[in-house]
Amino acid sequence: MESYNSFKTAQRQIIEAAKILNLDEATTQLLSEPQKEFNFSLHVKMDNGKVKIFKGYRIQYNIARGPAKGGIRYHPAETVDTIRALACWMTWKTAVVDLPLGGGKGGVCCDPKSMSLRELENLSREYIRTIAPFIGVDKDIPAPDVYTNPQTMAWMMDEYETIMNNHQPGVFTDKPTQVGGTEGRRDATARGGVITVREACKLLGFDPTKKFAIQGFGNAGQRAALLHHELLGGGKLIAVSDSRGAIYSPDGFNSKELVMHKLKTGSITGFPGSKKIPHEQLLELDVEVLYPAALENAISINNAKNIKAKIVCELANGPTTPEADLILNKKGIHVIPDILASAGGVTVSYFEMVQDKYSFFWDEKTVHQRLDQKLTNAYHRVHEAVMEKKIHPRLAAMVVGIARVAEACKLRGWV
């Protein structure tokens, strides 16, 4: 495991926010640890007839404001500390956008790229057989995350309903629309991020029609490329990267053609008219907006001093280290932190839960309007905290989220 521990970082953030809020010691301790953790072994029959053992996790970090909400990821480097950190950040994320939910996260340590579709289905069903007693529409609602998708959720929902012997589609979100999914979910994370960029540009006088770059070209990165033009009235996408490489064009890319190339070939590399550049160079380009939409810790103490973007909109989880945060803030770079910028996904997941509960579904326009309202309000509430407390945006978002969770804990009599 890498020396950087994301959960220790999350705990340091909590302590810093707690001091600003003057929280008592018991409340700070309560918010600094998960409420419930489930660690288990999964026994999965593989295509060769042998049984393979996988390590699985589900963590319900805090349920003071509502049932736990958060994704399930399949990744070979998964650890309990990464899951703890992500569950922790989900708690503040749902609170920042004022949803009646808590935070959770799950994962399986596996290499999904080496597994067949049948093996992934067997793994998904075994995961649910193990945690079924601990999840539910009023307990914990999972969703997809890294290397899981709507199909994974459909398998999991089917297994859960088989075990419970009744129809409960709302216990999983980001499902296919044919089995209770909602319109507007596929682009929700990117749409929420672009909405916050729009509000930042209005408030701070930046120009979104200038150059922008995207690190990571999965679902969120692809959608951001398209939505930046649609929602912000233009913009020149000059650089993009994915796991196979980074490309650059001073004249800008056609976002639709680039997305089609990625979907057709599996990578952005080799796109006509592009020049290959080092991954690290993309982050340091002179652009108006930078979207880190890939991995944790992309912006660190090593490269923060070289960042030239006016706005950094974090569509990935934890792309900026705490030390880098301070450097960017000192340079006057406006960071829209992940627990705000990427909250569009969980917001529309909440809308899906509501629709499943009533068996009444909204059209895409309604979903987009309600998402816009939620993210716009959340952005301005965080900016108010920046101005009131004289702190950087990440800490301000933490303060807003933690204050709401702490109040719920106190009202319940937990502290």
pLDDT tens-digit map of 249-301: 999 999 999 999 999 999 999 999 999 999 999 999 999 999 999 877 899 99
Phi-psi domain of 26 (left: phi exceeds 0; alpha: psi -120 through 50; beta: other): alpha
Stretch 115-137: mean pLDDT? 98
Model pLDDT, residue 2? 40
**With pLDDT > 70 as the criterion, what percentage of the chain qualifies?**
99
Percentage of the chain exceeding pLDDT 90: 93
| For residues 362-383, average pLDDT | 98
**Is-contact 169 359, C-beta < 8 A?**
no
pLDDT value at 3 more than 70: no
Reported as a single tens digit per residue, the pLDDT across 176-233 is 999 999 999 989 999 999 999 999 999 999 999 999 999 999 989 999 999 999 999 8
233 burial level (CB within 10 Å; 0-12, 13-18, 19+): exposed
The stretch 102-129 carries a mean pLDDT of 97
Q: What is the mean pLDDT of the chain?
A: 95
Res 80: pLDDT: 94
Q: CA-CA distance, 155 to 122, in Å (whole number)? A: 9
Average pLDDT over residues 378-384: 98
Quick check: 210 and 278 in contact, CB under 8 A? no
pLDDT score at 171: 97
Tens-digit pLDDT profile for residues 19-36: 999 999 999 999 999 999
Known catalytic residues are 105
Residue 296 is predicted with a pLDDT of 78
Please say if the pLDDT value at position 4 is more than 80: no
What number of helices (H) and strands (E) belong to the chain? 14, 12
What spatial distance separates the first Cα and last Cα of the chain, rounded to whole Å?
35
Q: List the domains of the chain with CATH numbers.
A: 37-178 (3.40.50.10860), 182-415 (3.40.50.720)
Inter-residue contact 351 to 141 (CB < 8 Å): no
Query: From CA 386, how far away is CA 361, in angstroms rounded?
Result: 37
**Cα dihedral across residues 45, 48, 50, 53: positive or negative:** negative
User: How distant, in Å, are the alpha carbons of 10, 19, 361, 363 from that of 79?
Assistant: 15, 29, 37, 39
Q: What is the pLDDT of residue 1?
A: 32
Written as six digits, the tokens of 255 are 């976002």
Contact 320, 312 (CB under 8 A): yes
